[in-house]
Every structure is written in C-alpha cells, then in structure tokens.
Amino acid sequence: MFEKPATLVAHGGNLHEAAQRYGIAWEAWIDLSTGINPHGYPVPPVPAAAWRRLPDEGDGLAACAARYYGAPDARHVLPVAGSQAAIRALPALLPRAGEACVAIAPLTYGEYAPAFARAGHEIVPLDLTLDALPDGIAHVVVVNPNNPTAAHVAAARLLHWRAQLAARGGTLIVDEAFADAFGTERSETVAHATGLEGLVVLRSPGKFFGLAGARCGFALGAPELLEALRAHLGAWTVSGPARHAVTHAFEDSAWQSAMRICLADESARLVALLRAHGFAPHATPLFAWITDPRAPALQDALARHAVWTRRFDAPASLRFGLPANDDEWRRLEDALAQAMRAIG
C-alpha cells in the first residue's frame, strides 16, 4: 500500500489554477506571483549534441559556478536539478542529535520545514536577531535575502552562527536564491566561506537569470557532504541543455551588470507604485512584499483584472514580482488603482 503523500506546499507560478478559478484565459494574465526575472537570459542555440548525449559532468560547469559564486574551487560545488532537489535531500544527510532541533524562520520559503520534518527533525522558529544560538539547536536554515519578507542577515552574523553550529557538529544552510540580483557592494553572500566546516550554501540561476525552467541549481559546501548528496541524488541530475544555458549565463558578465541596473530601476518603480497606494513595501530587486489585513481581498480584486500575485496568511501579505514590459506596467497600475477602490 502506498503511503498518502504529505500536503503539497503552495507556490507562486500556479497561473493555470488562477485562470480556471476566475474564468480568464491563461494568455490574458500578468503573472507577478513569482520572483523570477521577467527579462530572462538570452540563451544561445543549444548544440545538437547536448540533446543526444548524456550530460557530461566533466564539462566544467562546477568550476564555472565556483568562479561565478566565489566558492573555493569546483570540489566545493555540486550542480543539482534545481536547489529544490538539495532542499529535499539534505535533511536526511544531516545528523539528528538527540533532542536537538532545526531552527527555521516562521515565514520563509515553505519547502524547508516539511523536508526536515519528513527526515525526523524537530522544527523550532528561528529568531534572526540572535547572537548566540541556544544549545538545543543543531542546524539552522536561513534564506538570505528572505523570501518573501526581503529581510537580510549580515554575513558576519551568519558566519558567527556557522562557527557555533560547527562546534556542536551542526550545519548552517544558507539559501541565496535571490542574492545574484544584488551588486557585490550590497551582497551578503557567504558562498566564499563554503570551505569551512558546517556550512552549505544553495544557489539558483532560476531567479536572476530567469532560467527557472532549466531546473538547475547548486549546492556549495564541504566535498565530503557534497559527495554524499551526489550519491543520494544519483547520476545526470542536470540536463545537457541546462548545463549549456547556465554556463553561458555565468560567463556573460556584461549582461549581468546591465541586468542588475535594470532590475534596480524596476524594483524602485514597483516600490514607488505600492507606496503611492499607502503600502510600506519591503523589496529585493526581483520582488516587493507588503503586509496588510486586506491582502486576501486585494489579491482577489487584482485577479479579477487578470493580475496574479502571491498571498501569504501569517501575516496577511502579498508578494509582487516585476512586470515584463511597459504594457504590463500600465495594466498593473490600472488594476491596482481599481482594486484599491474596490476593497476600500
């Protein structure tokens, strides 16, 4: 008999559900429910061999990623089928020490807590302002910047936590899926420190590069743990076409620089629009998050104008991604004005 699966975690990008619920054709919607860059990297044509051959793990992708992320070297980088694959696999590879717990922020990316619970870990809420971690915490998960609240934890604090956890045989997992959109002067990445014991960094080219469909991500950490993760996940986890696309994206520094400027401008435009309607948004270059008790009504009112956003319930809040073009910006501005009148 098959075990009944756990309830699936809700995510953005569920546009077909919205289209069915509101009776509006899928093609008519503006999808702001994810934090994916709407100006995705222009992937060059994929060589025919990338489709015919098995993925080549000796193609230099890990070394390319190590250079791009600032990891010590290729031994500290494992390409995976989206960081989601590592999120689901890592909890089973980390020790469960007696009554020790895993600390995770109450409102963050929703896949971590279920993954650790399935592996038998006890979950406790993480206070991001702590200096010293309580003795009962064995592992800590931090999404930095946080999704959806946009909160940052300073690299110095993260590395301080890593040292505390490593001393007790624990691990700090830092999910930096949205870190690429920040210039180096604002980045709080700890990818450079993944040669240290007790630190795993997860990165995803899906957000900044707009390559979510490639299903490629990276786990950065100690070679021994990455080898265990590789054995757990099996061979050929990242397709040849995905490896081709991501390698080109990582090596295109001119595109990256121009895109960071573009996203900073568009993020400022989104923040200004939300402030004009009385909200106090918290933002990264790829999304803005607002808290308001009217969030469910606002999401519904926007959806009636074919604008789809991501809703959270505790606290009541909405996350807005970036429109893709001037027409979508105009439609969002009009829809938001009408939605605000509708909900009072």
In the chain, the percentage of residues whose pLDDT exceeds 90 is 91
Q: What is the mean pLDDT of residues 242-249?
A: 98
In the chain, the percentage of residues whose pLDDT exceeds 70 is 95
Angle, CA of 287, 343 and 300, to the nearest 5°: 55
Q: Does domain 48-252 have CATH number 1.10.3110.10?
A: no
CATH number of 15-40+254-343: 3.90.1150.10
Q: What is the mean pLDDT of residues 89-105?
A: 88
Q: What is the mean pLDDT of residues 20-46?
A: 97
Q: Check if the beta carbon of residue 322 is closer than 8 Å to that of residue 286.
A: yes
Q: What is the pLDDT of residues 117-135, one digit of tens each?
A: 999 999 999 999 999 999 9
Q: Check if the beta carbon of residue 273 is closer than 8 Å to that of residue 335.
A: no
CA atoms within 13 A on the CB side of 296: 5
Sheet holding 310-313, edge to edge: 282-284, 287-291, 316-321, 310-313
C-alpha 262/C-alpha 257 separation (Å) is 9
Task: Identify the CA nearest to 84 among candidates 9, 31, 146.
Answer: 9
Task: Identify the CA nearest to 157 among candidates 133, 179, 139.
Answer: 133
C-alpha 160/C-alpha 58 separation (Å) is 35
**In the chain, domain spans:** 15-40+254-343, 48-252
Q: What is the pLDDT of residues 47-63, one digit of tens each?
A: 999 999 999 889 999 99
In this predicted structure, what is the pLDDT of residue 18? 95
Q: What is the mean pLDDT of residues 189-211?
A: 97
Q: What is the mean pLDDT of residues 68-84?
A: 96
Averaged confidence pLDDT in the chain = 94
In this predicted structure, what is the pLDDT of residue 297? 98
C-alpha 228/C-alpha 65 separation (Å) is 20
Q: What is the pLDDT of residues 170-185, one digit of tens each?
A: 999 999 999 999 976 5
Dihedral, CA of residue 61, residue 64, residue 65 and residue 71, to nearest 10: 130
255 Cβ neighbours under 8 A, 6+ residues apart: 41, 42, 249
Cis geometry, peptide bond prior to residue 315 (ω within 30 degrees of 0) = yes
Q: What is the pLDDT of residues 322-344, one digit of tens each?
A: 999 999 999 999 999 999 999 98
Task: Identify the CA nearest to 161 among candidates 123, 195, 199.
Answer: 199
pLDDT of 168 > 60? The answer is yes
Q: What is the pLDDT of residues 257-315, one digit of tens each?
A: 999 999 999 999 999 999 999 999 999 999 999 999 999 999 999 999 999 999 999 99
Q: Alpha-carbon torsion 119, 121, 124, 126, what sign?
A: negative
pLDDT of 2 > 50? The answer is no
Q: What is the mean pLDDT of residues 204-229?
A: 97
Task: Identify the CA nearest to 82 among candidates 288, 237, 277.
Answer: 237
Single pTM value for the model? 0.94
pLDDT of 237 > 70? The answer is yes
C-alpha 328/C-alpha 320 separation (Å) is 13
pLDDT of 4 > 50? The answer is no
Q: What is the DSSP code (8-state) at residue 28?
A: G
pLDDT confidence band for 13 (50 / 70 / 90)? confident
Structure-token match 């054709």, residue found = 25
C-alpha 37/C-alpha 85 separation (Å) is 21
Where does residue 97 rank: exposed (0-12), middle (13-18), buried (19+ CB within 10 A)? middle
Beta pairing, strands 101-104 & 122-125: parallel
pLDDT of 7 > 90? The answer is no
pLDDT of 152 > 70? The answer is yes
In this predicted structure, what is the pLDDT of residue 183? 74
Pair of tokens at residue 197? 């014991």
In this predicted structure, what is the pLDDT of residue 12? 74
Q: Alpha-carbon torsion 79, 85, 86, 89, what sign?
A: negative
Element (H, E) at 288: strand 287-291
**Least confident stretch, 81-85, 164-168, 184-188:** 184-188
